[in-house]
Amino acid sequence: MEHLVDKRARSLRDLRISVTDRCNFRCRYCMPKEIFGADYPFLEREEILSFEEITRLAGIFSEFGVEKIRLTGGEPLLRKNLPDLIESLYKVSGIEDIALTTNGVFLPKYAKQLKEAGLTRVNVSLDSLNDKVFKKINDMGRGVQPVLDGIKAAQQEGLEVKVNMVVKKGLSDDEIMPMVHYFKKEGITLRFIEFMDVGTTNGWNYKDVISKKEIHDLINSHYPLESVEPGYFGEVAKRYRYAGTDTEVGFISSVTESFCSSCTRARLSTDGKLFTCLFAQSGFDLKEMVRGNASDEELKQAIRGVWEKRDDRYSEIRTEESQKSRKIEMSYIGG
């Protein structure tokens, strides 16, 4: 039994840390304006984990085998002095890769600091190159060019860039091939994300989902695709490359091709709750333990207990009833 416990504990490899529940976009996919308006009660500063608390917890997670950390939100670059956190995480033993998910708007300002602090990669969210469509998606009237400027700034500083596109039928499905043409030419990895029922405010309906197979077949009809072997166990994106090139395209298909059984990812919310699934309804409060003077060993035992008892299979058992259940919002738990 002890061998099985250790084996499961080692399978925790990737930690997503949400550092803010705010965003400078109110995207229809995770922060619709009609819900997250000017009067929405976001978390107070004292409710949010400090950099010191995050770094301490990251060190404990690294003892379980976590090698990769991704900072998410909301928009993580709204968090003041974020490069200081990255610099602290970079020094944590065992952490080999620190990445950031962002809408890209602040990258011209911060890319150099982020790189110098130890950031490895950025995933930039961009769902269309068409200003009219993109403004409709982000609900803030923001155009595409600031995001493209952010991508360029990140590249100039030597950061690896991937672009994430959520595809929703009737909203962004006509943008698939324009995005493919542009980012193939730029040599930037483009990843397509099936429209998911994360949270309860994005109006998800299965009829709005464009499947991974449909997107793959569309792209393949223009540019033949070659399968790429996974880089590691538990890799979420199904990877391909355009034939004859090194440029990749990926697919994250939690709706039509679930990957619950190989998940190695845990999530730490802005206010310090541990979640073992993106579709969870509740999390375990680590902040209460940290601020209650729990020892590292006590925190380690708590994390072990949560991780070893995980039985999340939402994407495998998605039903009409489970879709109606209240789930954590993307802006709170991070992508």
Q: Confirm whether residue 162 is marked as ligand binding.
A: yes
Which of 67, 71, 68, 149 shows the shortest CA–CA distance to 111?
Answer: 149
Is 196 annotated among the ligand-binding residues? yes
Is the confidence at residue 249, as pLDDT, over 90?
A: yes
Has 263 been labeled as part of a binding site?
yes
Per-residue pLDDT, 28: 59
> Residue 296 above 50 pLDDT?
yes
Three-state secondary structure call for residue 199: coil
30 is in an annotated binding site: yes
What's the whole-number mean pLDDT along residues 133-141? 86
CA angle 211, 143, 99 (to 5 degrees): 60
To the nearest whole percent, how much of the chain has pLDDT over 90?
Answer: 62
Say whether 187 counts as a known binding-site residue: no
Would you say 265 is a known binding-site residue?
yes
Delineate the domains of the chain, giving CATH numbers in brackets.
Answer: 2-333 (3.20.20.70)
Residue 56 among known ligand-binding residues: no
Contact 290, 299 (CB under 8 A): yes
Q: Per the annotation, does 27 bind a ligand?
A: yes
Compute, in degrees rounded to 10, the torsion defined by CA atoms 188, 189, 195, 200.
Answer: -80
165-204 confidence digits (pLDDT tens): 999 998 899 999 999 999 999 999 999 998 876 655 555 5
- How much is the pLDDT for 39? 58
Higher pLDDT, 14 or 324: 14
- Which secondary structure element, helix H or strand E, spans residue 194, and what is its range? strand 189-194
Strand-pairing partners, residue 285, are 273
* Cα–Cα dist 125/128, whole Å: 10
Which runs of E-coded beta strand occur in 45-132? 68-72, 97-102, 121-125
Is residue 16 marked as binding?
yes
Distances in whole angstroms, Cα of residue 98 to Cα of each of 26, 54, 79, 122, 326: 25, 14, 16, 9, 31
Mean pLDDT (whole number) for 60-64: 96
pLDDT greater than 80 at residue 312: no
pLDDT grade for 10, boundaries at 50, 70 and 90: very low
Q: Is 101 annotated as a binding residue?
A: yes
Residue 254, pLDDT > 80, answer no
Is 289 marked within a binding site?
A: no
Structure tokens at 189: 């990895």
Mean of pLDDT over the chain: 86
SS3 136: helix
In this structure, what token pair is assigned to residue 235? 């890799």
191 annotated among ligand-binding-site residues: no
Q: What is the dihedral of CA 31, 37, 41, 46, to 10 degrees?
A: 70
**Is the predicted pLDDT of residue 326 greater than 80, yes or no?**
no
Q: Residue 260 annotated as binding?
A: yes
> Is 264 annotated as belonging to a binding site?
no
| 179 marked ligand binding residue | no
* Residue 43: per-residue pLDDT: 77
